[in-house]
Amino acid sequence: MKTIKVNLGKRSYPIWIDHGLLRRVPELLGPRTGHQWVIVTQATVRNLYAHKLTELLKSSGIDVSTIIIPEGEEAKSLSEVESIYEQLLELNCDRSTLLVALGGGVVGDVTGFVAATYLRGVDYLQVPTTLLAMVDSAIGGKTGVNLPQGKNLVGAFYQPIGVVVDPELLQSLPRRDVISAMGEILKYGAIRDRDFFEKLRQNMDSLLSLEDEEVLLKAIVRCCEIKADVVSHDEQESDLRRILNFGHTIGHALETVAGYGILQHGEAVAYGMIAAGQISHELGYLNQQDHELLVSTLRKLPLPKLPDLNPEVVLEAIGHDKKVKAGRLHFVVLEGLGNAIVTDEVSDERIMNVIKDGIFQH
């Protein structure tokens, strides 16, 4: 078992990574037997894994209940959060209750936000069941829900007590979800580790098929190491952690404008990285060779075709982004492949031109 620590003083926690870890959750958590646990999940995941986890926890002397939230981004709403609060009250949950986020990024974001705010804070455990959540959203304590104007506009930084990463849970993952995750996985190499990016490029087919367990495990571990290191140095995105948003500024806007469900998160991020790579090149940060390597690798992903985009509407969505501060957009660019920086030099006009130029078309 590989253990990676997110170093945040009293809020530090482990990321455990290994095959078969779902069966070891009571062992990993130690002395919490007898306490009340509430699994927050979705119907699909409940049928695949929640029943197994429930039986395991009950056999270990744990009082466990389950709350089901809707599938998809519609679950990330304030009305759904209120529904979860009401169910927790009906279950007589108190501050000793442990919430378990069993699912993908949506489940993790919602459960984390509920944990941060219910009774002013209860513990929660992340048990991601998608590749995207394993390498990204389950780590770092970003929680939140959406508003009609954009993604994750209401939320909190609230760290879990641990993250259980079990690649065996990916066996039933749809191919499109794997493709989406590869967008975020490639991001880690692009912003922090050129050699890792090269390895991902070389093993793209194997990773997309999940056929090589060792290659997959190494990729997951490296992503978690990078994310843990960045979060440990900058928990609340005041400096270094902003580099994790490479591709996200335009990507989130594309998700919003296209409509939730048209683009998966990692797909939108991949398109956003293509745009950010072009902007990095235009500003002189990214040379031609690295730019071509970045774009050609991202275009290996079988991304869905985007609907017709109105650049002005996309720009308006970017204006609601959390990365706009004091009226200026803090935009992540690459200063060479494997090295991301943040700049406020990216103008609205440049973003508009990149969108108009049709760079998103295959």
For the annotated catalytic residues, the residue numbers are: 120, 142, 184, 227, 237, 241, 245, 248, 252, 265
Residue 50's contacts (CB-CB under 8 Å, 6 or more residues apart) are 39, 41, 66, 102
**Cα–Cα dist 158/112, whole Å:** 7
**Cα–Cα dist 269/265, whole Å:** 6
Q: Among 211, 237, 207, which residue's Cα sits nearest to residue 223? A: 207
CB 58 within 8 A of CB 94: no
DSSP string, 237-259: SSSGGGGGGTTHHHHHHHHHHH-
Q: What's the CA dihedral at 41, 47, 49, 54 to 10 degrees?
A: 80
Per the structure block, which two tokens stand in for 203?
């093993």
Sign of CA dihedral 308, 313, 314, 320: negative
On the 0-12 / 13-18 / 19+ scale of CB atoms within 10 A, 79 is exposed
Query: Based on C-alpha coordinates, what's the Rg of the chain?
Result: 20
Q: Among 210, 196, 111, 204, which residue's Cα sits nearest to residue 158? A: 111
**Cα–Cα dist 238/83, whole Å:** 32
